[in-house]
Amino acid sequence: MPKALATLDFDDKLLPVREMYVGREADRFRVAHPQHPLLKPFLQDVSRAYSTCAKYLQKKLPLQSKTLQCLSAVDPVVRGHTKTGFKLKKLTYTMSHLLPPDADTHQEILQYSVDHTLPTFKEGDDVVRLWSSVFETGKYPGLCQAVKAAMSIFHGPLVESSFNLMGDIIDPRSTSMNIATFSATQTVKYTLQSRKQNAVEMFSRDDVKFGAVDRRLCSNINSAGTRDKAQRQNKLFRARERRMEFDCQPSTSAAEKRKQVVEEENVARKRHIAKQRKRALEGLVQAKRLKK
């Protein structure tokens, strides 16, 4: 539990100095010269560094967070404990807007805590697989819905990779991008980078005129445009309804500024697309020259 980590004494929990990770080169030196006079003080410094880092993180991390404590109750290792039941109950209450209206989550939590038909779980096992087997039973619809929402917080692209790609997507002209658009753009960019290709290379055809076309891709492009247009129209319709309800009009200066920003974004987008096309064409020309 996070609350237990906040008061944990790390000095007694560290690995023996001979087993601590010190890097590949230092580990080779440790094995080759176990009695070297500099080895002992070096390992003591490493142990002190690990302990200092752990204490620093202990102070900085939100280990006393009630939300984090409730989320930690999802771990099957702590199933059956009284505190786990309290935390799961609070978690389902927090996510009540996501649960079925007729779900008796309190009873489900009590039954889940003493259910001996569920697979055994040991520390280090895959949490997702365990909960997948719980989902398949269909016995805890409310609890499972809350657990799905809780686990979705921790599943997705790696945080570091996400922030690395974020710098390639978001710039001063696209700071108002919504999450759905960013997620789609991030997925496309990650796929292209992982394959070490650009869009032209990925979808290139030997015969541009008679080559096979990915019909599913074309359908997705058309449906995406139609869906985006419908969403924008619905958003404008809702905004117009709210203005009529409260008898207010949009600010003229704000509308003009928004229009100017949209025009600038369109110009910047066209310039960026032209630059990308030019770069892709140059790459294709260079590739053909290398083939010759």
Helix (H) / strand (E) containing 78: none
How confident is the model at residue 168, as a pLDDT? 65
DSSP state of 88: H
Whether pLDDT at 178 is above 80: no
| CA 153, chain centre distance (Å) | 7
**What's the pLDDT at 49?**
87
Mean pLDDT along residues 253-258:
75
Whole-number Å distance between alpha carbons of 260 and 258: 5
| pLDDT beyond 70 at 41 | yes
Q: What percent of the chain has pLDDT over 90?
A: 0
Q: How far apart are CA 166 and CA 181, in angstroms?
A: 12
Helix count and strand count (H, E) for the chain: 13, 0
Whether residue 196 is predicted with pLDDT greater than 70 in this model: the reply is yes
| pLDDT (0 to 100) of residue 181 | 78
What is the DSSP annotation of 242-277? HHHHHT----HHHHHHHHHHHHHHHHHHHHHHHHHH
Sign of the four-CA dihedral 204, 207, 210, 211? negative
Query: Each residue of 17-39: pLDDT tens digit?
Result: 778 888 888 888 888 888 888 88
* Whole-number average pLDDT of the chain: 81
**What is residue 162's predicted lDDT score, i.e. its pLDDT?**
57
Per-residue pLDDT of 125-175, as tens digits, reads: 788 888 888 888 888 888 988 888 888 776 454 445 555 566 666 666 666
Is the pTM higher than 0.85? The answer reads no
User: What is the distance between the alpha carbons of residues 107 and 158, in angstroms, rounded to a whole number?
Assistant: 36
Where does the pLDDT of residue 190 fall: very low under 50, low under 70, confident under 90, or very high at 90 and above? confident
Is residue 179 scored above 80 in pLDDT?
no
> 292 pLDDT exceeds 70?
no
Residue 113 three-state SS = helix
Q: pLDDT tens, 206-230?
A: 887 888 888 888 888 889 888 888 9
Given a cut of 60, whether residue 77 has pLDDT beyond it is yes
Mean pLDDT across 199-206: 82
